Structure 1
């Protein structure tokens, strides 16, 4: 690990003025620093800031960026109003990591692509312009949607997939003192020619809160994750769903996917194939077809295309079936 300067700050305003890389739980950043993948010159410790509350606001909730994942998953209000979020959090990492990892940091996890972690491999995300060894290498966990010839890495998170289905927004503080609210739909960037730029955050911009809106009354929620082992494994395919059915017709559908793309993936065409339709297999099949119309495997990950279809259809059956 290379040497770096360290500063602990007492306020969000001091954090954005400090001009360094923010660290709170450090569950991803410290690993990357040990491997030489990340080499920040300055760490700004924000872990003591007063950003660890969950408040009701505008019919929804405002979650502080420093709320630990374990606390968010266990909060009775989250369990009651956003069970998909609680389930997604509990499906991620281990209990020890969830105790340390923060809500804001979870949004900024970096890919677990083998070649990104291997500093001897070519990786445009780690070293822009160096190439992408995943394209011709072992790419079983890699993207089938939204990738480019520069990068086929996937986003590793569970929580952000649920938040994408919930239409969450990210609240930030800029170094100039301005605040902005970024819908999660606009927060992540696809790789294109600049896979090293992963979000729309500006230099020095600090996530302070995540806003969760109210949901349609009676909507059912589900998080389903397919992985290689039962715990402490990243998703091959995951789906977060919020579905409302009234009088035999789907009136609301929000579906986000993990393990398929560079970001939590949500395609309006998938939901359009469901809304206004009865909850029957034909509608489910149409949604799966819409999801995968542009899917492209790269050899080792070809299996994700039929797997994603099966996972989505199974999730829709559960979301629209009779309550247990």
Structure 2
């Protein structure tokens, strides 16, 4: 029977941590499940919560080093054939592992992802739409920007694949889960399981909403640095294999940077620089459908960054998406 290690990263989420751990311990999976919690120097009640589970949980206690190092240290401690990731403010349904692990019977599968149902701080479902996932993703899908990935707590890796794509760069606070997946696509396939096997909690302390992630110059600058770091990790790996991202991918990536720079200038009160960036977007990309659409939507940012962020949050959840069925 297969063995699974579940790595939970935690920093000051003591109020949620117990539910995350219980959701791992309550899995109906018949194989061995190892629950590893890496506490990243919490100053709240987290370590008391951990202690309450006794020997049922393997605790890795460290000084504060950031989420990337917390996961790296958790992965180093993992002994299972498969490794699942779980953020401390999220939790799983009892059937998660029993639904996911059989998909690894295909030796070419290195990663499985599934849907996460968004919930509020109390665990009540939030209105949500889900991607129209194909059955699987390959490296070619990434190179042509056809990959739409879920969140951290919906990922499970084959350990032999994960070991080859580590470590996560120290200080990488965004996109590290995407980085692990894309590196894994160089070695294997990803299977998509369109079932809501976990719950992602949206609350005042996380950055899932665009209004938080992009609503301040500091967060926007951090986001762009993390995108730069992601690309600096991936590009040399592609070059060594004589691979490159398609022109479509590169154009859409440039539009993402331009969109962020327009918003950043507006948040700083640099309206002239924002308008010049928008003109550059129009001249370079306005001849393509997506480019023209981006130019049109970024006009809202030139009028009001807050208006743009509210519109973006609504749009992001609905483009090319469908409602989840009640039994998924």
Please confirm whether the aligned pair reaches a TM-score higher than 0.5, indicating the same fold.
no
Higher helix share: 2
Name the TM-score, length of structure 2 as normaliser: 0.31
Name the TM-score, length of structure 1 as normaliser: 0.32
